[in-house]
Each structure stands twice: as C-alpha cells, then as structure tokens.
Amino acid sequence: MAVSLHNLRYKIAAAAVVKGVAWRAARLPGARSAVTSLAGRLQPADEETGSYRGLLAGLLRQAVQPETGDAVAYDGVAGIMPAPEPTAAPDLDALHDHVRQNPSAGNLVALAATYRKSYIADFSAAASWYERAYEANPKDLRAVEGILSCGARSHFDWQRMWHYASALKPTRGPLATRPDFWADVDELFTPHPSYSLVRSLVEQLTEHSSTVATLHQLLLETLSTRLQFLGEFRAGTALRRAMAQNRVTELRGIPLESPLWLKHLLGAYAYLDCHSRLNQTSARPPLDTPHTLARTQVQKLQADVALLQGDPDPLVAHARQRATTLPLPGEEKMRALVEGRRVAVVGPAATGEELGELIDAYDVIVRTRFRPDVINEAPQRMGSRTDIAYYSGLDLSRGFDEVQQIAGSGALHLAVGRPLYWPVLEQVPQWLRISRFEFGLYFRGAPMAIQRIIYDLLQFAPAQIGIFNADFYANPKLLTEGYRDDAATFGPHSALNDPVVMHDLAFEFRITQRLANSGLIVPHGSAAQVLELTEDQYLRRLEEHSPLGLARQIRHRDAGK
C-alpha cells in the first residue's frame, strides 16, 4: 500500500536540512565522534522505531555512516549494495522481548513489520500487532497502513479495517459537514453493499473529486482498495491518481532528505504520466548525494526513468557497473543465458492459446513459479522446457526444497529470487540468483511478476523478449489449472488479493504498454490484444469480464442491469 506523507512536507524538508548540516559538520576535524555521540544520547532506550528523538538520532547516524564496507546489504532503493554491516535477518524472539519490556507503538510496529515481510508473510499476526500499535498510539499512521495492508491480505474483514481507518475522516472542510456522504462510505465497508449504494457513492466521488482529493492519503487508499475489491477499478484508479497528485504536492519544491523521497516523487510523476516533470526532476534531483549509497540510489532511479522513456541503455550500463563493483552469485550465469539471445517470458494465465511451438523456438524460456507438472500436461500451450524461473519471497521460502530438487534434476538452469530475500540467505546455492534490484518508479506498491521479470531481463541486454500466456487478468479465466490453488477469488488469505493490495493494475498495464510500444518487448496472443486497449478499456474489461470484477458483475446481475 501507499506510504502516507500527509502533512509531512515541512518535516521532510527540515530533515533534509538537519541531515545536510550534520553531514557537512562531520567532515570537520573531530566532529564525526561528536555527531555520533549526540545520536547516541538522543536515541530512546528500548525502542525499535517511532519517536521523533529516535528519527533524529537515525538521521545523525546516517550522516556519519561509513561510505562502504566489506559486507553486503539490501537497500530499498538501490537494491543489493556493499555496506559496512550486512542486513541481518529479523530476530522475532528479540522483537517479542522488546515488546514485553516496552510495549510502545514503535516496538509494536517493528514486530508487526517483521511478520509482514514476504519471507515470513504471517499477515494475520502482523495485522493483530498493528492493531495493538494503534491502541498504543492512535496517531501512528504506520499502524493504520499496516492494519489495512495486512488485514486485506489475511482476515479480509472490511468493517474491522474501517474501524481504524475511519478515524481519519476530516473534522473540518466541505466533506466534514456531509453526514449523508459518510453514511454511504460506512455502508461501503459492510460485507455486501448494494448496487444502488455503490453506484451512488461512485457518482459522489466523481462529482466532488477535487474535494475528495484533499482527504487523508490513507483514507483515499482505503477507499480505493475497497472499491477495487468490489470490482470498481475505474473509480479506484481515479482515487489513486488523486493520491499521486497529493504525493507530488507534498514533495515538489522542497529539499528531500533521502533518495527514498525522490523515489516517491518520481513514482508519482510516472503514475500521473507527467513525463516532462519526471525527466526534469530525474536530471536535477533536489537532494544531497554526499556518499556512494545516495549517488547509486539516484543513478538507479535515473536509469529507471530512461527505461520508462524507452531507452534501456542506462539500465544496462548501471547494472554492468554495479556487477563490476559487487559481483553477485548467479549473475554471470544469468548473463550467459540471456545476453544477445531471444527470451520467451511465459506467464500462468489460462488463455487457452496453443503457442507452445513458438515458445520453444526461443533461445531461452523463462517462467513464473515453475511447476513442472503443469508444464508437462500442456506443452502445446506452455512450451516444453524451462531455463529460468522467478519466485516471490514467500514462494521461494515455502518451496525452497522443492525448487532445489527441480534444479538438481536438470529441469531448470537457474531460479531467481527477489532482492529483499537476500537477508535470510546464509549462503546462495549455485542454482539460485537473487536479483540485484527492481524497477523503482512506484509511488505505491511493487512490481508484479511479469513486469518484474521483464525489468530484470532487460538489464542483461537480450536480443528480444517475447511475452506469452499473459492477459493481465483481463479475461474470464485467471490461471492455468494447477498453477496456484490459493488464488481462485478475493477473500480471506487469498493470493488473488495481492494484485489490488500490493500492486496497481492500471499502472502495471501502462508500464507494460509503454515497453511494448517502445519495441522492448513483443507480446503474443492475448498479451498483444490486451495491450492494444486504452487504459479505460482495460479497466472496463476487468470490471465486466475478469473474475476480479465478480462482485460488481453480481451486483449488476442482481439489479437487472
């Protein structure tokens, strides 16, 4: 879900000033130890995260951190980087001890955030701990965001989630005096809101869009997500556009404290298709880059901006330079498989198209979450071999032994995991490669599987990337039978919830369409047909023909529409 920056504009600017002054001061003789000592005195005891004193202490420590080191760590913007200390896998027992000793909101949030990590993915526990964090401090927006994100991926009780999010209703302004509007919003979070209620509320959101856009960012996120789970993808996307505009309003024209805020600003411009502003901000980022990590983060984001404009060369050059500085296991094997070769990316969609012979004609075949039994049953549709398979953090964690056995049998040359999986690996086996970084121009969410694969492959300069068995959820059937049994429909603990909660279908569609129009990918079959649609046509397809729009289709059927 989206990170809320509501009313943080001046705090971000102030943090940038503090960090810049501390960095410059630390370059004076003897000042580094003084800044480090001050950070230590400011840091609250027994608190993992959360207070302003803790945040200030963190800024000071960042300002004096060593340039680099012999360890390897995962960074949320740059990906896997040299570091003074490795990224340690989270210690749940230690975090529980912290909570028992000091059940502050900060410590509770830290524990909840660990449970939601993709290689643990206990979203029920995470949601419960976020609720406790909210009870400890109802003003902690991280708790509200976690309640929404983890609740939508676990218990799926919308009234329970709305209980917390509704506290963000405005207390002043035009909508604060509209009890009828909020009564309809409250009804939206009941299990089965009526056709007339949803239609009326969508009309009100459209009519008062400029006023609605001023609502709290997390309130907009909650409304957008709920509407999309009810099959209203156009209305949900309109609210996310309002969120992106809010993000721009909060971040433009101020000094940014870190490249993370630059990532949010560039992502918002990308979401709004403001490519002129996107290019200008990328070329002249409004932040200091005093050390290697910050410079690398900015260079990575600049390469992503160039790719979105159809130029993969900066990304290829950046990846090569990073590989020279820090070679990663499996990278040379990946380069040997992909560079200069024709690559087929085969998704799991149940398109029914018999393109197996064309798939097999490619030099390299790449799949998501390789299931040999599924492939072997339908080579005429899926192709007959697999060279590279990509896995989410959760799939790799839960299926590690199975993937190892498949790779050991020779059925697979290389498995690829996400960079955020790096901290839990003590040693990377020969059959596994952890991707160095992922596409960064998201103001909310993360890349979906097909888009993540395309981006990763483009770093290795393939001759061509063909896309097969991918319809971006726009057709009546979802996944090839047997591919995934926990994604049949929206609901409690369903993997199908993720495209709405963790991703953005409209933005993923636009990204993929831009890559196709630039000639960087060649879609086949259903993929080509869907990518010829306009965004509005695509969202209508989701509403009217996809299983993702089932709730809307049932409402319209029952209402005789």
Provide the pLDDT for residue 482. 85
Q: What is the CA radius of gyration of the chain?
A: 24
CA distance 165 to 52: 23
Residue ranges for the chain with pLDDT beneath 70:
1-7, 19, 21-32, 34-36, 38-68
Question: Could you tell me the two tokens for 123?
Answer: 């979203």
CA atoms within 13 A on the CB side of 127: 20
CA atoms within 13 A on the CB side of 91: 9
DSSP code, position 444: B
Q: Where in 58-205 does DSSP place strands (E)?
A: 71-75, 79-83
How many Cβ atoms from other residues are within 10 Å of residue 122's Cβ?
17
Question: Could you tell me the two tokens for 5?
Answer: 């920056």
* Amino acid letter, residue 511: I
Backbone φ/ψ region at 9: left (φ over 0), alpha (ψ -120 to 50), beta: alpha
Q: What's the whole-model pTM score? A: 0.92
Provide the pLDDT for residue 68. 66
Question: Could you tell me the two tokens for 367?
Answer: 């799949």
Provide the pLDDT for residue 83. 87
- The H or E element that residue 368 is part of is strand 364-368
* Bridge partner list, 152: none
Question: Could you tell me the two tokens for 57?
Answer: 């202490």
Span 17-67, pLDDT tens digits: 776 766 666 666 666 676 667 666 666 665 545 555 656 666 666 666 666
Question: Could you tell me the two tokens for 314?
Answer: 């900066």
